[in-house]
Structure 1
Amino acid sequence: MESHQRLAIRLPNWLGDTLMTYPLLVQLHRAEIDFTCFGHPAVLDLFSATDFSMVGSSRIRDHLFMRRQYRAGAFTKAILCPSSFSALIPVKLSNLPSIGHHFMCSQRIRKNVRGHRVEHYYDLGRPLLHDTGSRGIPEDFIPLNDATRQYGKSIIDSLFTGPFVVVCPFASNLHQGQNKEWPYWKQFMSRYKDKPLLGLVSAQDVDRFQDEFPGTPVLSESLSVAAAIMREADHVITNDSGAMHLASFFGAQVLGLFGVTNVIETRPWHGDYLTSANGKWADYHDVKAYLNSH
């Protein structure tokens, strides 16, 4: 890609998917491609310690707002991570050539149905990187700045004097009408005594956590601070959720619990997982055995 060209990247709408674009962004940055990412406000916190150009706005789905952004930035091409008409319309209104999975993109990239979603997003950048598949996908973790790390450490020091385990027991959306939350959370929370537990949840889930798991400390922090706390934990146990990918891409020791979603497509890119067998979720004993062996 020539130096005078400018690339706009429309990031995904969901937290987990946004995190899964990180290897793509790393490789584009290393190739010295001039790009600006457009996402929801959380991207400003997630990528605050990187050198990436980020625009985070609650108006990301506003077609006219995005058209103005594309035109004002004098972009010459766009990568569309969401495969939706909503993401496509602003680039069409701006007469901006696009690369994406949608069939109406200027350059359509077909998904590998057996691939991970990280690979799906990374493939969108291959035409610009002149990469036919031989180049390895970057394995970097998202960095944290010193102030965030120190603040996370101060929170931990106020709660624990030794090893601890982070739990993220909630999932905000269904998968094809099915609940993604591990059905054995209450059993685990009441029976596991080897290390103290700490809940990390969104602000709207604090009351639910306190109702369902009384006596277990729970925090709701910014995403970067939550990631800093996760990195200090012995383990982070989660459903298939944004929290799982947050732990994964910031370098925590994550264990994802899968029962109804496609583990091939959305397993933690970094970290481990347990999945269902014969239609049954991994149970308390499976998770306990994993923790004892790691």
Structure 2
Amino acid sequence: MADADERILVVGPSWVGDMVMAQSLLMSLKARHPGCHIGVVAPAWSLPMLSRMAEVDEAIALDVGHGEFGWRVRRKVATLLRGRFDRAIVLPRSWKSALVPFLARVPVRLGFTGEQRLVLLNRRRVLDKGVLDQTVKRFVSLGLPVAEAASGDFAIPRPRLAVDPDNLVELRLALGLSSRPAIGMMPGAEYGPAKQWPPAYFRQLAIWLVEAGFEVRVLGGPKDVEDGEHIAAGLEHVHNLCGKTRLADAVDLLADCQQVVTNDSGLMHVAAAVGTRVHALYGSSSPDFTPPLTARAHIHRLGLSCSPCFARVCPLGHTNCLNQLTPQRIFAALTAPPEGREPA
């Protein structure tokens, strides 16, 4: 077993959902080595989220844009970290993601094989996709002994992001939110349109929810503003918050929602990690690979013969896997009595 005061550097992923799932690895490391110090190298945008993870002792910004090489930035970060960590766990499988631990001269550098990282990583594992069939399992396995990881039979801690109640009070006032019970909607999906339920369906669902006495909060990034406007236009008690909040704000706003309706997206994983009841809409992707890590998840998928295809854009041109998933079905699920209780 590693020393209790071991210093572990984790190179984090570049997507919101993957960063949430990476917390499962951090939780596993802390459970096995309670006195260890965990540092996480991650994109600058993710630092507010990392601040909500109790297991992170130190967050180091790698301010490199998605797809950029950023040699000078990586070398600068590596210089700052040199001599400070005993081992590194590299979660992304790209060549450049292993550069910082290598340049920082971390003695043990572990990751999956990929992109000719023979020199950059001195501990490499072959990824058995049949055994490690979920992203979160792959992350957690890198913190385990080889034999245990290879078995695929190990506990997966569920992510749990901390909520800031003071920030939530300020947000409710600043955004003009009401005292109605809130439903969150996340219409975006960074990967591509084949993962997106039609905005018109979200809008129809919002209309019914307002009539049923709910407030609707549409959350997403700047790319989702137009869809958010389409959903909220002219509707009282429907707030388009896309592009108006920080990632940490989204954590608090989602924790304040009774339920959320979401595509398979990063914010889906955030909602799961704050304990909100999640209605996850799956089309081109699969809940077998990237499920919301919560017992309060309701998966909605049609299971057509052509899905999951994992394509960014429907290769058949119809996206029936989502277009045929009706708003009526989701509304019925949202307004159904809680499990274990009969209607009043």
Q: With structure 1 as the length reference, what TM-score do the two structures score?
A: 0.86
- Relative to structure 1, the CA distance from residue 127 to residue 42 in structure 2 (aligned partners, 3 Å threshold; closer, same or farther) is farther
State yes or no: 1:278 paired with 2:304.
yes
- Relative to structure 1, the CA distance from residue 232 to residue 145 in structure 2 (aligned partners, 3 Å threshold; closer, same or farther) is closer
Amino acid at match of 1:203: P
Q: 2: distance between equivalents of 1:111 and 1:163?
A: 44
Amino acid at match of 1:185: F
Any conservation in 1 of the 2:77–2:100 contact (CA below 8 Å)?
no
How do 1:142-291 residues align onto structure 2 when only pairs under 5 Å count?
142-154=161-173, 158-174=176-192, 179-183=194-198, 184-192=201-209, 193-194=211-212, 195-215=214-234, 216-219=238-241, 220-270=244-294, 271-279=297-305, 280-281=321-322, 282-291=325-334
- CA shift at 1:187, angstroms? 3.7
Aligned match of 2:109: 98
Aligned match of 1:28: 29
Deviation by residue 1:245-270 (Cα, 9 ceiling, x = unmatched): 11111222221100110211112111
- CA shift at 1:152, angstroms? 4.0
Structure 2 gaps, min length 5: 306-320, 339-344
State yes or no: 1:84 paired with 2:102.
no
Amino acid at match of 1:143: A
Deviation by residue 1:185-228 (Cα, 9 ceiling, x = unmatched): 34434444322322112134324421454123211211121111
Any conservation in 2 of the 1:91–1:98 contact (CA below 8 Å)?
yes
Q: With structure 2 as the length reference, what TM-score do the two structures score?
A: 0.74
Q: 1: distance between equivalents of 2:140 and 2:331?
A: 35
Q: Secondary structure at the match of 2:288?
A: helix
Q: 2: distance between equivalents of 1:112 and 1:15?
A: 22
Deviation by residue 1:49-107 (Cα, 9 ceiling, x = unmatched): 43511112323752443344334321232111101112124444455432112243422
- CA shift at 1:137, angstroms? 2.5
Amino acid at match of 2:298: D
Q: 2: distance between equivalents of 1:248 and 1:212?
A: 23
Q: Secondary structure at the match of 2:289?
A: helix
Any conservation in 1 of the 2:160–2:273 contact (CA below 8 Å)?
yes
- Relative to structure 1, the CA distance from residue 133 to residue 240 in structure 2 (aligned partners, 3 Å threshold; closer, same or farther) is closer
Larger Rg computed on CA atoms: 2
State yes or no: 1:108 paired with 2:100.
no
Aligned match of 2:313: none
- Relative to structure 1, the CA distance from residue 37 to residue 274 in structure 2 (aligned partners, 3 Å threshold; closer, same or farther) is same
- Relative to structure 1, the CA distance from residue 25 to residue 66 in structure 2 (aligned partners, 3 Å threshold; closer, same or farther) is same
- CA shift at 1:38, angstroms? 0.5
- CA shift at 1:287, angstroms? 0.7
Any conservation in 1 of the 2:20–2:159 contact (CA below 8 Å)?
no
Q: Secondary structure at the match of 2:279?
A: strand
- Relative to structure 1, the CA distance from residue 161 to residue 144 in structure 2 (aligned partners, 3 Å threshold; closer, same or farther) is closer
Count of aligned pairs between the two proteins: 290
Any conservation in 2 of the 1:67–1:91 contact (CA below 8 Å)?
no
- Relative to structure 1, the CA distance from residue 29 to residue 155 in structure 2 (aligned partners, 3 Å threshold; closer, same or farther) is farther
Q: Secondary structure at the match of 1:265?
A: coil
Aligned match of 2:63: 58
Q: Secondary structure at the match of 1:21?
A: helix
- CA shift at 1:154, angstroms? 4.0
Deviation by residue 1:145-186 (Cα, 9 ceiling, x = unmatched): 343243345457x42222121111121222xxx521013334
Q: Which moved more, 1:158-167 or 1:93-102?
A: 93-102
Aligned match of 2:311: none
Aligned match of 1:7: 8
Q: 2: distance between equivalents of 1:243 and 1:200?
A: 8
Any conservation in 2 of the 1:101–1:111 contact (CA below 8 Å)?
no
- Relative to structure 1, the CA distance from residue 134 to residue 10 in structure 2 (aligned partners, 3 Å threshold; closer, same or farther) is same
Structure 1 gaps, min length 5: none
